Amino acid sequence: MLRCSISDAFEPRSGTKTMSIELEPDPSHPLPAGVRLRILGKDDVELLVDHVMALDPEGRRDRFNSATTPEWVSDYARRSIHPGTLVIAAEFEGRVIGVAELHPLRHDTAELAFSVLKDWRGKGIGETLFALIVEAAWSRGLDAIEITTHPDNQRMKRLARKFGAELKFDHGDTVGRLALDEIRMLESDGSPRPWAPHAPRRVAARGSARMS
């Protein structure tokens, strides 16, 4: 689906190692004209806030499964664009139209979340973001991605199943786990095909799931 080049870089001010990702859509699966992909950084908090606030009620419910206020969204965006997380955005004319997030849970596991503006759904953007987040997690040596959503979020459940995630109903939510060493992509007819990541596999450092 995507080609990406992932490398580590040392941030001298914070004294931490960060991950740099160059994003290049696969020509065989093009994005809509004018859409670009990039990693959001600390200067992009307001772009993330604007994206979340622009989601329609259904899209915001799919993403957060609860009511949100502008103050809560602003605080969430600042907590999300942080050295412990990875936030990838799809942009069109300077506006964030889709976002995928990878939040570390344990040293070998992270949680995935994503959202796409209503007018841009059904154009392959969600699947593109999902695929890239999966590849980034795999390249860092993580074992699995966990997914939690409400039972009516059919888009998330459809994408998760396409990548081979096992889903179940638990205490009012749909929860899933995607084992990164066992991914089998499903074609439109339901037949499986092997997943071929472009990035090299790395070994995750014990006690750390730093991904941004």
pLDDT computed for residue 47 by the predictor? 92
CB 116 within 8 A of CB 126: yes
Quote the mean pLDDT of the chain: 77
Q: Sorting pLDDT into bands at 50, 70 and 90, what band is 123?
A: very high
**Domain span holding position 95:** 2-194
Does any domain span residue 30?
Answer: yes
CB-based burial, 90-126: b 16+ in 10 Å, e otherwise? bbbeeebbbbbbbbbeebebbebbbbbbeebbebbbb
Does any domain span residue 206?
Answer: no
Does any domain span residue 95?
Answer: yes
Task: Determine the Cα–Cα distance for residues 56 and 63; give it in Å rounded to an integer.
Answer: 11
Does any domain span residue 212?
Answer: no
- Which among 81, 100, 106 is positioned nearest to 159, based on CA atoms? 100
Task: Determine the Cα–Cα distance for residues 155 and 62; give it in Å rounded to an integer.
Answer: 9
- Residue range 10-14: average pLDDT? 51
DSSP state of 32: P
Count of CB atoms situated within 10 Å of the CB of 4: 20
| Alpha-carbon distance values, 108 to 170, 180, 204 (Å) | 22, 11, 7
- Residue range 18-45: average pLDDT? 74
pLDDT tens profile 195-211 = 655 555 554 433 333 34
- Residue range 140-157: average pLDDT? 84
pLDDT computed for residue 180 by the predictor? 82
Residue 212: Cβ-neighbour burial (10 angstroms; 0-12, 13-18, 19+): buried
Domain count, the chain: 1
CATH of the domain at 88: 3.40.630.30
pLDDT tens profile 55-113 = 988 888 888 877 788 888 888 888 888 877 889 999 999 999 999 999 888 778 888 88
137: left (phi over 0), alpha (psi -120 to 50) or beta: alpha
pTM given for the model? 0.75
Task: Determine the Cα–Cα distance for residues 73 and 97; give it in Å rounded to an integer.
Answer: 16
Six-digit token string for 161? 């199943």
